[in-house]
Copies of this chain bind each other. A is one copy, B any other.
Amino acid sequence: MASSSSLTLSQAVFSPSLPRHGSSSSSSPSLSFSTFSGLKSTHFTSSHRRILPSTTVTKQQFTVRASAAVETLEKTDAAIVEKSVNTIRFLAIDAVEKANSGHPGLPMGCAPMGHILYDEVMKYNPKNPYWFNRDRFVLSAGHGCMLQYALLHLAGYDSVQEDDLKSFRQWGSRIPGHPENFETPGVEVTTGPLGQGIANAVGLAVAEKHLAARFNKPDAEIVDHYTYVILGDGCQMEGISNEVCSLAGHWGLGKLIAFYDDNHISIDGDTEIAFTEDVSARFESLGWHVIWVKNGNTGYDEIRAAIKEAKAVKDKPTMIKVTTTIGFGSPNKANSYSVHGSALGAKEVEATRNNLGWPYEPFHVPEDVKSHWSRHTPEGAALETEWNAKFAEYEKKYAEEAADLKSIITGELPAGWEKALPTYTPESPADATRNLSQQNLNALAKVLPGFLGGSADLASSNMTLLKMFGDFQKNTPEERNLRFGVREHGMGAICNGIALHSLGLIPYCATFFVFTDYMRGAMRISALSEAGVIYVMTHDSIGLGEDGPTHQPIEHLASFRAMPNILMFRPADGNETAGAYKVAVLKRKTPSILALSRQKLPQLAGTSIEGAAKGGYIVSDNSSGNKPDVILIGTGSELEIAVKAAEELKKEGKTVRVVSFVCWELYDEQSAEYKESVLPSSVTARVSIEAGSTFGWQKFVGDKGKAIGIDGFGASAPADKIYKEFGITAEAVVAAAKQVS
């Protein structure tokens, strides 16, 4: 049933975000795929193929575009291009002016390249922004978002209508102050924090290259799209962009095409004051093909030729340096920082209208421009329809591959996948949770077709190698072990791009837990943009020993527990590690962090996957009536210590409950009844132990309880010695329990 299977694929869309303002937007651990509402009226089944567009584009031209994946760069009448470009400029000017907030400079300068991309080059279906095989576009210079909103509006995306443009940057608007994938269908990733976008784009291009290598056949190029990105001077200065561009060159991402908006202006003025390196030479050193378009303001043919050249270079990513004038068209503010981040002001808007010969009212799109762009709706629908038919053919010939690809596209996990998770008994050998994690990773990779990932040059310490796969490299992109090198920040942001490429791509990435400090920018974007990346963070405490305080996390657990929409797991043993992975895989719109031990830990009695999924649960208890003398709470490697302390206290006749708090956020989601069953309000004698900051623990131990932890930096010595010297011991727990009970 080709058409119905195509339909399923087309409907595989990211569910729009629930209202998320003001509260943590954690979702329940199950997947939901809502159908994009705009799909019904515009979706083309295979019976509707070859619908003619209503514009002046001829059937023949159109067929070429649809079937040859826009490989020819067609020239359109120069006048309409110019008019279209000015429409983009004034939509941006007008929206920023109405909001009295925003960044008009970039859209005014980048309108020509934006126009060429969306009108002449990219393949997309405006009525289904989630069509799988679309070209991806990322505005890494996210502050210039009005450029993208204007383009989405002209291209026919339902998400950006005229009323939306008028509500730019207002409460409840669908077009916020920076591009947000979870607010605006058609926006692929969330940008604004500079450098994230180019990194996401590398991730999108990695996903395409990987899937193309795995699924394309000589007779069926089923995965085939480009990733385009516009980045500015700010992105270029950020270290993360050098990290990811070095990897893009190394991996030979030939279908990644980056436009560098070289306008010589940043917020503080001319880039001369802080940025005088030779960017083109740097990119060449990183293994990129580099082209310079000297006149980005009006050199349309130069831009077109550059894209054509970029596409011809298949073994390298291309950077097209496009020299533009920021705020092009503004007679008094162009080429100055004053046009970067503020509305032009009524007077200068007027002057710019005069200067560019723009007689229209604010937000007006001239009819001929509208008409010119209107072909993208039928054209995009036809592109998708054609691809659907191709996929139906593919499915017939390559059933197994098609099933895997479908799972990756839709995010529907293979039935029974969770049975692959290992379980443990107290008799199972003691092991470090980093090793137990590796057992889980390898088990999951066998059953989840979209599971892939790697480490920032610590694979053998983080224990993250998938043993049945080789390395994803330039010439082996079908493999699933990613080698990120020592580039944590880039790694996290690349994984965001991979996760947001397809619902069923589940990327994990790894480093030492303390080095989350290097990639926190990307991790926050995972949380905000609902990218379900799994962060495998080993060496999670002073328990790593001799490497010392530079490598020993202290405040990191607390710092992530405070971050919205991210799950901070600290499993104590094998069952809890498996439980953490189970939730992490299910939560496709919430990233997860697993803090894992370097040192061996016993498999504890009473731990379970189900318990871990509740975040906090009772591991052992010798009391009755929900009224133990004391409650001992532990996480990770310290749960063992809590268990030992409980044994001591029990010997002395106390009733003791031991609670594992593997994930605070999941516990917070449980019902009041459940919480009362774990931490009864009448029992105020509570002691927590965790080899990290005590910050935040008062929430669970209460005014009368005691939190044992480490509120200074660690030390360089063997782990056992540090634990003893820092008082992270069963003796300390016993003493505290006696104090509080």
On chain B, the residues within 8 Å of A193 by CB distance are 514-515, 517-518, 550-551
On chain B, the residues within 8 Å of A711 by CB distance are 23-24, 564
* Docked pose: A285 CA to B286 CA in angstroms: 11
Report whether B142 and A550 are in contact in the complex, using a CB–CB cutoff of 8 Å.
yes
Nearest CB on B from A247, distance (A): 7
- CB nearest to A102 among chain B residues: B546
- CB nearest to A274 among chain B residues: B485
A644 within 8 A of B: no
- CB nearest to A236 among chain B residues: B486
Within 8 A of B (CB), among A494-537: 514-515, 517-518, 520-521, 523-525, 527-528
Within 8 A of B (CB), among A2-47: 20-25
Total identical chains: 2
Most central of A484, A490, A550, A699 by chain B CB within 10 Å: A550
Report whether B274 and A250 are in contact in the complex, using a CB–CB cutoff of 8 Å.
yes
Report whether A521 and B518 are in contact in the complex, using a CB–CB cutoff of 8 Å.
yes
On chain B, the residues within 8 Å of A242 by CB distance are 239, 242-243
Which residue from B24, B483, B550 sits with its C-beta under 8 Å from A273? B483
Within 8 A of B (CB), among A210-242: 233-235, 237-242
Report whether A486 and B237 are in contact in the complex, using a CB–CB cutoff of 8 Å.
yes
A702 within 8 A of B: yes
On chain B, the residues within 8 Å of A169 by CB distance are 546, 548, 716-717
A460 within 8 A of B: yes
Known contacts A237-B485, A698-B699; is-contact A546 B171 (Cβ 8 Å): no
On chain B, the residues within 8 Å of A715 by CB distance are 21, 171, 176
Nearest CB on B from A193, distance (A): 6
Report whether B276 and A250 are in contact in the complex, using a CB–CB cutoff of 8 Å.
yes
Report whether A243 and B250 are in contact in the complex, using a CB–CB cutoff of 8 Å.
no
* Docked pose: A279 CA to B549 CA in angstroms: 31
Within 8 A of B (CB), among A159-175: 169-173
Which residue from B459, B559, B716 sits with its C-beta under 8 Å from A558? B559
Which residue from B190, B549, B722, B726 sits with its C-beta under 8 Å from A550? B190
A718 within 8 A of B: yes
* Docked pose: A710 CA to B490 CA in angstroms: 29
On chain B, the residues within 8 Å of A696 by CB distance are 558, 562, 695-696, 698
Report whether A273 and B471 are in contact in the complex, using a CB–CB cutoff of 8 Å.
yes
Which residue from B266, B285, B550 sits with its C-beta under 8 Å from A180? B550
Report whether A285 and B274 are in contact in the complex, using a CB–CB cutoff of 8 Å.
no
* Docked pose: A538 CA to B313 CA in angstroms: 44
A727 within 8 A of B: yes
A87 within 8 A of B: no
Report whether B246 and A277 are in contact in the complex, using a CB–CB cutoff of 8 Å.
yes
Report whether A564 and B712 are in contact in the complex, using a CB–CB cutoff of 8 Å.
yes
A725 within 8 A of B: yes
On chain B, the residues within 8 Å of A250 by CB distance are 274-277
Report whether B551 and A177 are in contact in the complex, using a CB–CB cutoff of 8 Å.
yes
Which residue from B268, B483, B515, B699 sits with its C-beta under 8 Å from A483? B268
Known contacts A21-B725, A486-B266; is-contact A239 B243 (Cβ 8 Å): yes
Which residue from B23, B235, B712 sits with its C-beta under 8 Å from A20? B712
A101 within 8 A of B: yes
Known contacts A551-B192, A562-B555; is-contact A234 B713 (Cβ 8 Å): no
* Docked pose: A379 CA to B337 CA in angstroms: 54
Nearest CB on B from A327, distance (A): 16
* Contact code string A188-214 (vs B, CB < 8 Å = 1, else 0): 001111100000000000000000000
On chain B, the residues within 8 Å of A273 by CB distance are 471, 473, 483, 485
Report whether B487 and A238 are in contact in the complex, using a CB–CB cutoff of 8 Å.
yes
Report whether B713 and A20 are in contact in the complex, using a CB–CB cutoff of 8 Å.
yes
Most central of A172, A238, A696, A711 by chain B CB within 10 Å: A238
Nearest CB on B from A676, distance (A): 14
Report whether A170 and B717 are in contact in the complex, using a CB–CB cutoff of 8 Å.
yes
A397 within 8 A of B: no
A123 within 8 A of B: no
Report whether A725 and B558 are in contact in the complex, using a CB–CB cutoff of 8 Å.
no
On chain B, the residues within 8 Å of A714 by CB distance are 21
Report whether A726 and B239 are in contact in the complex, using a CB–CB cutoff of 8 Å.
no
A721 within 8 A of B: yes
Report whether B281 and A460 are in contact in the complex, using a CB–CB cutoff of 8 Å.
no
A458 within 8 A of B: yes
Known contacts A490-B239, A564-B712; is-contact A550 B274 (Cβ 8 Å): no
* Docked pose: A235 CA to B487 CA in angstroms: 9
Counting from the closest, the 8 A-B pairs by CB-CB distance are A239-B239, A274-B485, A176-B716, A281-B285, A192-B550, A559-B559, A562-B695, A171-B717
5 examples of A-B residue contacts, CB within 8 angstroms? A22-B712, A274-B484, A555-B563, A555-B564, A565-B712
Instruction: For the A-B complex with A180-B548, A238-B487, A528-B550 known, give 15 more contacts whose Cβ atoms are closer than 8 Å.
Output: A22-B710, A171-B725, A192-B547, A238-B243, A239-B241, A246-B277, A247-B274, A249-B277, A267-B458, A268-B460, A282-B285, A525-B550, A554-B564, A562-B696, A695-B696
